């Protein structure tokens, strides 16, 4: 497949792996965080770590949209979905995320009308087709998905749709990265920056990371060669004593971002003073709410919400995993009490979550893995 296969070529990967190994100073260890859950998914899905020398380790960051949704917000959404005249619409990822008492999937089985959509525009379509029902879109995600929510609200307003609203849970990546940089228990050598978010916000918002925190950041694409190239670029910066924001994903990410998307967000949404992140706690100015002019489309104002804060289960260490302090398997409940069938923490829910990715794809030590692969190689017909 064109535009995909060229970024998954094993020969180029091996060549790049050689250059990465050469760029490492012997005896030094390098820890890079991939901020985005899409990167985590790519890393595991393609077995990318097999191409990295033991000096380089990747830790998985907070950029998984459903992983950072606090339980109380899930409960609020289920509360809305249970109103008899409501159709709740949501991305598929959200369906299994556990709240204080069950997930969307459970609420649906108990009778709530919850439908999976691929785009907020699909929710709008449902609203048009069901004028006697109130249709709510469960908006989640970073700056990647926020513009499409904003554009949908603008269209709903233009059409004068009175039965459509958005339960806005959009969050922003920069405050989360800053929270991680300010966290005392972490030592990182650099960041693999999120590609899709950057297509909206551009590369400038990251400059403080290089300038104030002296950490290099490379905005990366989502194919495995993109990520390997970014690791090589980070190592290059460190070897040359540079600390910059670089753009590996220039085929998609403009340095200044997407002005149309940003202005739609600016028109429809406003900054919240603070917002709770699953595992990370409250972070100031880290999330978006609907702006006052669009109150009629704001589910938080249309519906009376319990708005209760639900503490994360004590045993759950999603926060440490999201900050990269713990590897998924180091969490106390990983794989035993918390599995993809019975997730306790959100990192186990989405395939972009670090724990689910590790459980589904990487639940196997690299040594044993390569032994089995060698055995298979030998028996090839």
Q: Which of 69, 95, 135, 219 binds another protein (CB under 8 A)?
A: 95
Q: Answer for the pair 283, 179: CB distance below 8 angstroms, yes or no.
A: yes
Strand, coil or helix: what is 171? strand
Q: Restricting to residues 230-289, which ones interact with another protein according to CB under 8 A?
A: none
Q: Restricting to residues 25-64, which ones interact with another protein according to CB under 8 A?
A: 38, 41, 44-51
219 or 291: CB nearest another protein: 219
Min dist. Cβ of residue 243 to another protein (A) = 28
1 or 158: CB nearest another protein: 1
Cα 101 to Cα 83: distance, rounded to the nearest angstrom? 16
Stretch touching another protein by CB under 8 A, among 73-81, 232-240, 261-269, 372-380? 372-380
Q: Which residues contact 327 (CB under 8 A, 6 or more apart)?
A: 59, 321, 358
Candidates 228, 222, 220, 223; CA nearest to 250 is 220
Q: Restricting to residues 117-176, which ones interact with another protein according to CB under 8 A?
A: 118, 122, 140-142, 144-145
Stretch touching another protein by CB under 8 A, among 20-28, 90-98, 279-287, 315-323? 90-98
Using CB under 8 A, count the residues that bind another protein.
Answer: 71
71 or 126: CB nearest another protein: 126
Task: Please report whether residue 66 would count as binding another protein according to CB under 8 A.
Answer: yes
83 or 339: CB nearest another protein: 339
Q: Which of 25, 28, 29, 110 binds another protein (CB under 8 A)?
A: 110
Q: What ranges in the chain are assigned the alpha helix state H?
A: 10-23, 37-45, 71-81, 104-109, 120-129, 146-159, 173-182, 195-201, 207-212, 224-239, 259-268, 299-302, 318-322, 354-361, 366-378
263 or 370: CB nearest another protein: 370
Min dist. Cβ of residue 65 to another protein (A) = 6
255 or 329: CB nearest another protein: 329
Candidates 252, 243, 82, 65; CA nearest to 143 is 65
Task: Please report whether residue 364 would count as binding another protein according to CB under 8 A.
Answer: yes
> What are the Cα distances from residue 359, in Å, to 18, 62, 69, 353?
28, 17, 20, 10
Radius of gyration of the chain (CA): 21
Q: Which of 21, 105, 174, 310 binds another protein (CB under 8 A)?
A: 105
Q: Which of 1, 132, 240, 314 binds another protein (CB under 8 A)?
A: 1
Q: Answer for the pair 149, 170: CB distance below 8 angstroms, yes or no.
A: yes
Q: Restricting to residues 322-361, which ones interact with another protein according to CB under 8 A?
A: 327, 329-330, 334-336, 339-342, 350-352, 359-361
Cα 55 to Cα 66: distance, rounded to the nearest angstrom? 31
Cα 231 to Cα 217: distance, rounded to the nearest angstrom? 10
Q: Which of 75, 93, 113, 246 binds another protein (CB under 8 A)?
A: 93
């Amino acid at each position: 497949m064109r535009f995909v296969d060229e970024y998954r070529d094993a020969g180029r990967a091996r060549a790049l792996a050689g250059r990465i190994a050469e760029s490492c100073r012997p005896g030094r260890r390098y820890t890079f965080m991939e901020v985005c859950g899409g990167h985590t998914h790519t890393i595991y899905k393609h077995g990318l770590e097999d191409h990295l020398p033991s000096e380089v380790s990747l830790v998985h960051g907070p950029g998984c949209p459903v992983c950072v949704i606090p339980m109380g917000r899930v409960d609020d959404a289920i509360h809305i979905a249970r109103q008899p005249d409501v159709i709740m619409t949501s991305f598929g990822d959200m369906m299994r995320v556990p709240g204080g008492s069950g997930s969307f999937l459970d609420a649906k089985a108990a009778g709530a009308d919850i439908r999976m959509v691929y785009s907020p525009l699909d929710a709008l379509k449902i609203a048009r087709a069901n004028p006697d029902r109130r249709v709510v879109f469960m908006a989640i995600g970073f700056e990647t998905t926020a513009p499409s929510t904003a554009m949908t609200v603008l269209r709903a307003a233009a059409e004068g749709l009175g039965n459509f609203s958005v339960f806005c849970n959009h969050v922003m990546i920069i405050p989360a990265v800053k929270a991680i940089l300010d966290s005392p228990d972490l030592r990182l050598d650099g960041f693999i920056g999120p590609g899709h978010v950057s297509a909206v916000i551009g590369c400038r918002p990251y400059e403080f990371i290089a300038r104030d925190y002296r950490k290099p950041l490379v905005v990366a694409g989502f194919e495995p060669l993109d990520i390997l190239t970014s690791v090589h670029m980070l190592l290059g910066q460190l070897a040359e004593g540079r600390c910059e924001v670089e753009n590996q994903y220039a085929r998609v990410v403009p340095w200044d971002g997407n002005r149309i998307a940003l202005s739609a967000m600016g028109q429809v949404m406003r900054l919240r003073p603070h917002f709770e992140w699953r595992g990370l706690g409250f972070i100031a100015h880290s999330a978006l709410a609907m702006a006052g002019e669009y109150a009629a489309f704001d589910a938080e104002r249309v519906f009376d919400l319990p708005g209760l804060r639900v503490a994360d289960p004590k045993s759950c260490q999603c926060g440490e995993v999201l900050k990269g302090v713990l590897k998924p398997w180091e969490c106390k409940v990983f794989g035993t009490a918390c599995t993809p069938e019975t997730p306790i923490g959100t990192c186990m829910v989405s395939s972009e979550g670090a724990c689910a990715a590790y459980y589904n794809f990487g639940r196997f030590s690299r040594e044993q893995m390569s032994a089995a692969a060698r055995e298979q190689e030998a028996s090839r017909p």
